[in-house]
Structure 1
Amino acid sequence: MTPPPHGLPGHLVDFVGALRRHQVPVGPGETVDAAAVLGAVNLLHREQLREGLAAAVLRRSGQRAVFDTLFDLYFPAAQGRGQSDVEVPWTPDGEVDLDALRDILADLLRDGDDAALRELARAVVDALGAASGPGQGGPNGPRNWSTYQVLRQVSPETLLAGILADLMGDNENAFVEEITRREIRQRIAEFRRMVTEEVRRRTAETRGRDQVAKTAVPKQAEQVEFLSAYADQLAQLRRTVHPLARRLASRLAVRRKHAKRGQMDLRRTLRRSMSTGGVPMRPAFRTRRPGRPELVVFCDVSGSVAGFSHFTLLLVQALREQFSKVRVFAFVERADEVTHLFAPGNDLASVMTRVLREAELVTFDGHSDYGGSLASLVEHWPDAVGPRSSLLILGDGRTNYRDPNLAVLRRLIGQARHSHWLNPEPRKQWGSGDSAALRYAELMPMHECRTVAQLADVVETLLPV
C-alpha cells in the first residue's frame, strides 16, 4: 500500500470521505475532532485509535459496523504478510500440512488465545488464500484472495468434537457441556471472522480500498432494502422499530407545538382593530382542534413483500397511540382482518407467522390477487373505511396478471379521508411485467419505500398533526 500523498491528515480526509460515501454523516467539526484524536493517542496502539476516532465521528447508533469495516481498510493491522510468531507447517513436498495445521488450530481454540489465533489467521491466509492463474496472480494481474478457499481447506468446524472431548474429560455434566460447546463455537466463529478480515485486507492492498469497500462495507439498517434483506438484517430492522417510533413521535410533538394556531379569524381581527383606529395590530387566530384519525391498513403478506409488510405493521403498532383507532387487514388472494393479532401484549416478533397460519388468505394458488382481495374487503367489511379513516395500502401492486379491480379501489378512496400506498419496489420497476402499480398510482398517492429511511420519511408526513 502506497503512503498517502498528503501524509496522515490527507489519509484522515480520505477516511472521512469514505464514511460519507457510505451514509455516515461526518461534518467539518467531527473531522477536526478526529484530527485532534490523531495528535492525542499513540498511533501504535491501534485499538485506542479506533475507539478515539469512533468517539469523534459517530453520532448515531447503527453506524459502528460501517465504521469498523472502513477503519480496518484505511488503518490496516499489517502490510503484506505482516509479522507472525505462528508458522504454518509444511510437508517435504512443499505443500501445507493440513493435519498438523488443524492440530495447531485446535490447541489455540482450546486455549482461547485470541492474539495467537489472529497471527495464525494471517499466516493461513498467506499460505492458502491466494489463487493463481491468468489474470489473477503473478505478472498477469493482481493476486486474488479467497476466504472460501482458506476455510474449506482448514474446516475449523470439524474440530469442535475433539476440542470438546479434551476440555470435558470425565465431566459428564450436561449443562457444563452445553456451555463449553457454545464457547468453542464462538471461538470458531471468531477465527472465521479473523480470516475474512485478513482476506479483505490483502485484497485491498492489491485491488484498492474503494473497490473492496463497494462490497465489503455492510449497509446501515436504515439503508437495507426490504426486498433484498436476509434473515439477520430483518431481525436487525425489527430491533429498530421502537427507537424509530419514538423518534417519529418526538418529531410529531414538535410539529404540533409549532402548529397550535389555526387560520386567521378575520372577524375577530377586525373587531380588535377598532381600538387601534382600524389598524390590525393584534391578529386573532382560530383555535385548532386536531383530531386523531382512524387508520385502516391493507397489507400484502405474500412471500415477495412479507418482510416489508411485517416491518411496517410493527411500526404502525408502535405508533398506534397517534391514531384513535387502527384496523389491520392482511391479504394474499383474499382479505381477512388481523387487528386482534396486533393487540398490546401479543408477541409481535412472531405476529407474521400467526397471520399466515390463522387468517384465511388463500383460496387457490397462494399468489397475490389485489383485485379479489379489494373485493372481499368491501364485501365482508363494507364499513371499514369511512370519512374519518386514513387508508394505508402496503404492497408492490403485482397482480399476477389478474384484474386489478380499479373500480373498487376508487370507491374506497372516495370513502376515506386520506389514502396512501407504500410500495417497496424501485419506482423504475412500477408497471413492469405483472405490476399494476402505475395504474393504482393514477388513483392515489404511491410512495417508494424500499428502506427504513424512506419509510420513516413517508410515515412522518402521514402522521396527523
Structure 2
Amino acid sequence: MTGPAQAVQTAPFVAHLTDFVDEMRRRGMVVGPSALIDAARAVEVLDLLDRTSLREGLATTLLDDHLHRPAFDRLFDLWFPAAPGARTADDELPRTDDGEIDVPAARDMLAQMLADPTAEADGRLGAMVAQIVEELGRYDSARGQAYSAYQALSAIDPQTLIARIAAAMAGGDPTDLGAGTDPVTRRAAREKANQVRAAVERETQRRMAERNGRERVGEYAVPTLPEHINFLSAGAKQQAELRRTIDPLARLLASRLEVRRRRAHRGAVDVRQTLRASMSTGGVPIELKHRKPRPGRPELIVICDVSGSVAGFSQFTLNLVYALRQQFSKVRVFAFVDTVDEVTEMFDPSTGDKAGFGVDAKAAMHEMITTARIVTRDGHSDYSHMLRGFVENYADSLTHRGALLILGDARNNYHDPNVEILRDLVERVRHSYWLNPEAGRDWGTGDSAADVYGEVIDMFECRNAQQLGKVIADLLPV
C-alpha cells in the first residue's frame, strides 16, 4: 500500500506545515503559494528526524529575506520542537554534599563538553543544556512550575564560561584561566558561549510552549521583524537590525521611483517616428510616437528633529533619504532641537573621512550634535523657534520645483506652534510632507501640536521601516 496509505500518513504533516506558513504570514513574512509547494516537495526528500536539515530546507524554500531568519528560527522551534517532555542524560550535573547543584563544577563540565567537537553531534550537549534548564532555570510561579532562561544563564554566567571554554579548547584544565588567551581561541570560545545561550533559550521556550501553548509563548519569544520595529522604542540591538534594512529598502524604493518618474513624464512628439509608423496605416498618423523622456530630478529639503525622543527615527530616515540621493538633483539637510542649522556637509559621502549616510551615520550624527548650532535655548524641542529661524536664514532654499520633508513628533513643549510660518514654507514648494514617528492616536495629546500642523501640511504616521518605506514610495515627487 503506497498511494492511499502514504497520503493518509503525510496529510497531518502537510496540514501542520500549512499552519506554520500561515503563522509566518501573520507575522509579516511574505510566503507565496509556490513557496509552500516547494517546501512540501523539499520535505518529501528530507530526513524529518534531522531537525537541522529540515530547518535549512524550509528556510531555503520559504524565506526570501535573510533579515527574517531570527524570527523564522524561533517559529521553527515552536512548531517543530525537538521532542516533548523532559530529556534524559547519561552525564548528570555534579552536586555538592548537601545535594545541591555544584554550579562552578557544572560550568567546568559544560566548558569541557563545548571544547569537544563531537558533543553536539552525539546529543550530549543538548542533553546537558536540558539539565541546566531543568535544574537551574526552574521556578515555582502562581500557575505552577515554570522555566526561566534568564535564571539559568545567570547561574552558569556566560562571561565566566568563555574563559573556561577557551582554556579547555587550548587543551588545558577549564580552571586554568591562563590558557587559551590568544584572540582566535577567545573568539571561538565566545561563539560557543553564544551557542549555549541560544540553546538554553530554545529549551526554555520549548518547555514553556508545552505548558502554555506555542501561540502564547510566540507572543514574546519570536522577535519582531526588522521592518516592524518601532523607531521610538528600539534598543541598541534593534537599531542595528534597522540599519541593515536600509540598503535593500533604498534599492527597492529607487527602482520604484525611477519607474514612476518615467511613466509620469512623456517626451515630446517625435515627428519622424510618427510619420514612419503612419506608413502602415495609409499615411494616417493614428498613433503618436514620443521621444524618450528625460525627466528632471527635483530638489529635496529635509528638516529633522534630532532631540533625544526622536533621534533614532531621524537617523534612520536620513540614512534612507540619502541612500536615495541620486533620485534628486540636490539634497539639503537641516537639523534642530530648538534652533535650526544646516548640516548637509556633515553627511556628504564625498568628504572622505566624514561618515556619510549608510556608512557610519552614528558618527555623523554625533558630529552634528556636538558641532552644529542646533541648541541655543533650553535644549527641548521648539518647533516655533525652529520655523522662525528657518524663514530668517534659509527660506531661499525652498523653490517651486522642490520638495520639503519634515521629520519629527511635533511635540512643541507647549510653545506657540507658529502655524502661519509653516503655511508660508509649504506654499513655497511644490510638495511638502511631514513624517511623524508617533501613532496617529497620540497626535494632539499633551504637548503635541501634530493636529494643528496637520491642518497645514500632509502628516503621515511612520512608526517603523515598513510604514516609512510605503510613505516614501508613494509620496516622494517624481
TM above 0.5: yes
Matches within 5 A, 1:59-78: 59-78=64-83
Q: What's 1:335 paired with?
A: 340
Q: 1:111-146: per-residue Cα shift (whole Å, max 9, x none)?
A: 46651333211111122222124x332xxxxx3211
Residue 36 and residue 213 in structure 1: after superposition, are their counterparts in 2 closer, same or farther (change >3 A)? Answer: same
Of the three residues 44, 48, 51, the one matched with 2:53 is 48
- Distance (whole Å) between structure 2 residues aligned to residue 197 and residue 189 of structure 1: 12
Higher mean Cα deviation, 231-240 or 70-79?
231-240
Q: What's 2:205 paired with?
A: 200
- Distance (whole Å) between structure 2 residues aligned to residue 106 and residue 317 of structure 1: 47
DSSP 3-state at the match of 1:78: coil
- Distance (whole Å) between structure 2 residues aligned to residue 342 and residue 99 of structure 1: 51
Q: 1:222-281: per-residue Cα shift (whole Å, max 9, x none)?
A: 11111111112212222222221111111223233434437999xxx9xx99xx99x994
Q: What's 1:368 paired with?
A: 381
Is the 8 Å Cα contact of residues 163 and 177 (structure 2) preserved in structure 1? no
Q: Residue 464 of structure 1 aligns to which amino acid in structure 2? A: P
Q: What's 2:256 paired with?
A: 251
- Distance (whole Å) between structure 2 residues aligned to residue 432 and residue 395 of structure 1: 15
Matches within 5 A, 1:1-400: 7-91=12-96, 93-111=98-116, 115=120, 116-133=124-141, 135-137=142-144, 143-164=145-166, 167=170, 177-261=182-266, 281-282=286-287, 290-344=295-349, 345=352, 346-348=354-356, 349=360, 350-400=363-413
Higher mean Cα deviation, 56-65 or 318-327?
56-65
Higher mean Cα deviation, 328-337 or 92-101?
92-101
- Distance (whole Å) between structure 2 residues aligned to residue 50 and residue 162 of structure 1: 31
Is the 8 Å Cα contact of residues 369 and 402 (structure 1) preserved in structure 2? yes
Q: 1:45-89: per-residue Cα shift (whole Å, max 9, x none)?
A: 111111111122112332211211111111111221124333223
Unaligned runs of 5+ in 1: 138-142
DSSP 3-state at the match of 1:18: helix
Q: Cα RMSD (Å) of the superposition?
A: 3.1
DSSP 3-state at the match of 1:368: coil
Residue 172 and residue 127 in structure 1: after superposition, are their counterparts in 2 closer, same or farther (change >3 A)? Answer: closer
- Distance (whole Å) between structure 2 residues aligned to residue 97 and residue 35 of structure 1: 47
Percent pairwise identity: 50
Deviation at 1:109, TM superposition (A): 3.7
Deviation at 1:289, TM superposition (A): 5.8
Is the 8 Å Cα contact of residues 167 and 177 (structure 2) preserved in structure 1? no
Q: Residue 429 of structure 2 aligns to which amino acid in structure 1? A: A
Residue 337 and residue 286 in structure 1: after superposition, are their counterparts in 2 closer, same or farther (change >3 A)? Answer: same
* Number of corresponding residues: 450
Q: 1:334-371: per-residue Cα shift (whole Å, max 9, x none)?
A: 00100001112432312111111110111232111111
Residue 250 and residue 173 in structure 1: after superposition, are their counterparts in 2 closer, same or farther (change >3 A)? Answer: farther
1:403 has 2:410 as partner: no
DSSP 3-state at the match of 1:425: coil
Q: Residue 71 of structure 1 aligns to which amino acid in structure 2? A: F
- Distance (whole Å) between structure 2 residues aligned to residue 162 and residue 150 of structure 1: 17
Residue 63 and residue 156 in structure 1: after superposition, are their counterparts in 2 closer, same or farther (change >3 A)? Answer: closer
- Distance (whole Å) between structure 1 residues aligned to residue 269 and residue 39 of structure 2: 50
- Distance (whole Å) between structure 1 residues aligned to residue 310 and residue 405 of structure 2: 15
Q: What's 2:462 paired with?
A: 449
Q: Residue 129 of structure 2 aligns to which amino acid in structure 1? A: A
Deviation at 1:165, TM superposition (A): 5.4
Deviation at 1:92, TM superposition (A): 5.2
- Distance (whole Å) between structure 2 residues aligned to residue 14 and residue 149 of structure 1: 32
1:427 has 2:432 as partner: no
DSSP 3-state at the match of 2:182: helix
Residue 387 and residue 68 in structure 1: after superposition, are their counterparts in 2 closer, same or farther (change >3 A)? Answer: same
TM-score calculated relative to the size of structure 2: 0.86
Q: What's 1:140 paired with?
A: none
Is the 8 Å Cα contact of residues 262 and 293 (structure 2) preserved in structure 1? no
Is the 8 Å Cα contact of residues 408 and 436 (structure 2) preserved in structure 1? yes
Q: 1:418-455: per-residue Cα shift (whole Å, max 9, x none)?
A: 11001111111111111000100000101111111111
Residue 435 and residue 81 in structure 1: after superposition, are their counterparts in 2 closer, same or farther (change >3 A)? Answer: same
Deviation at 1:288, TM superposition (A): 5.9
- Distance (whole Å) between structure 2 residues aligned to residue 90 and residue 175 of structure 1: 27
Residue 114 and residue 299 in structure 1: after superposition, are their counterparts in 2 closer, same or farther (change >3 A)? Answer: farther
Higher mean Cα deviation, 148-157 or 11-20?
148-157
Unaligned runs of 5+ in 2: 1-8
Higher mean Cα deviation, 62-71 or 418-427?
62-71
Deviation at 1:297, TM superposition (A): 0.4
Higher mean Cα deviation, 24-33 or 349-358?
24-33
- Distance (whole Å) between structure 2 residues aligned to residue 426 and residue 94 of structure 1: 54
DSSP 3-state at the match of 1:89: coil
Higher mean Cα deviation, 384-393 or 198-207?
384-393
Is the 8 Å Cα contact of residues 168 and 177 (structure 1) preserved in structure 2? no
Residue 254 and residue 85 in structure 1: after superposition, are their counterparts in 2 closer, same or farther (change >3 A)? Answer: farther
